Amino acid sequence: MSKVTILDGGMGRQLEAMGAPFKQPEWSALALMEAPETVTQAHQAFLDAGCDIITTNAYALIPFHIGQERFDKDGADLIELAAQIARTAADEHHQRVIKVAGSLPPAFGSYRPDLFDKNKATDIYAPLIKHQESYIDFWLAETMSSIIEAQTIIEATSKSNKDLWLSFSLKDRLGADEPIQLRSGELLIDAIEMIKGSPVKALLFNCSQPEEMSDAFDIIQQSGLSIPYGAYANNFEKVKSANENLSTLRNDITSNDYLSFAKQWQRQGATIIGGCCGIGPDHIAQLTQLNN
């Protein structure tokens, strides 16, 4: 089996677990604003666990989370600070070479493709791209819940000299006989067809339950998509919206359980694996066994 590149885990819930400032609606942005040293510590925890890539803490630096007024006033500085912190943490980790992914989040909140407005999204992504680009190694468009969201990200990064990895969030199914869909209800196979011929360099699935990933990988293999793929699942109970309240974490996915899921993904050809919300350093440390 191929070597796996290991991503970090969920920044927001790691900050919460550390006792950093953390609440809705600011989510992980609150620690950046009030105690940025805790963001460094969270990155360090994942680096110590063995990840190869850390992602900037820019996911919540959008008007949906921090408000339009603060985004207009402080957004550029906060975005650059998130990128600087990640870059410094990566460069000071001398045990191995660490890459930094620039987070490009859903512009109107997780799991909310119904709120999507392309013109407004373009205005939100412009500063996220401008103020991270010089610090990162590639872009990671996260938790994309519709095809139009993904297309907008592809267009927004088209003039960047950095590669783009694209990650979709999958709808929780009631049974295995249901088709694999994005949160929008669009079929995954249609999203994959959109990616073919695009500049996207890797396809991922994130902020979805780990049980959804294997069937999604089957679809990738059947589609003939030729770019690397992988997953970073969450540890949430099934939810309709990730923004209204702090979602309940499951208590049945230990680090060993998550490794078992990851081993199955690796057998299915996944070469990029990490964790999303509720997947912490202990889970990431177990993933290093994939390369033993």
Omega into 25 within 30° of 0, i.e. cis? yes
Rounded CA-CA distance 129/205 in Å is 21
Residue 291 lies in a domain: no
How would DSSP label each residue in 190-218?
HHHHHHTTSSEEEEEEESS-GGGHHHHHH
Residue 286 lies in a domain: no
240 secondary structure, DSSP code: S
Residue 41 lies in a domain: yes
Which pLDDT belongs to residue 241? 46
User: Residue 185 contacts by C-beta under 8 Å, 6 or more apart in sequence?
Assistant: 171
Residue 39 in this model has a pLDDT that exceeds 70? yes
Rounded CA-CA distance 25/45 in Å is 24
Residue 285 lies in a domain: no
Rounded CA-CA distance 118/122 in Å is 6
User: Residue 21 contacts by C-beta under 8 Å, 6 or more apart in sequence?
Assistant: 15, 30, 31, 33, 34, 35, 38
Which pLDDT belongs to residue 245? 46
Interval 221-231 mean pLDDT: 97
What is this structure's pTM? 0.94
Interval 179-205 mean pLDDT: 97
Residue 290 lies in a domain: no
Rounded CA-CA distance 190/121 in Å is 22
Number of domains within the chain = 1
Residue 249 in this model has a pLDDT that exceeds 80? no
Structural domain boundaries enclosing 155: 5-278
Interval 232-258 mean pLDDT: 69
Going from the C-alpha of 275 to that of each of 11, 69, 279, the distances in angstroms are 9, 32, 5
Residue 21 in this model has a pLDDT that exceeds 70? yes
User: Residue 104 contacts by C-beta under 8 Å, 6 or more apart in sequence?
Assistant: 58, 125, 128, 129, 139, 140, 141, 142, 153, 156, 157
Query: To the nearest whole number, what is the mean pLDDT of the chain?
Result: 94
Residue 140 lies in a domain: yes
Residue 217 sits in a domain of what CATH number? 3.20.20.330
Q: Count the alpha carbons within 13 Å of 1 in the hemisphere toward its beta carbon.
A: 18
Q: Which tokens belong to 76?
A: 């550029």
Among the residue ranges 37-46, 125-134, 185-194, 233-242, the one predicted with the least confidence is: 233-242
Residue 133 in this model has a pLDDT that exceeds 50? yes
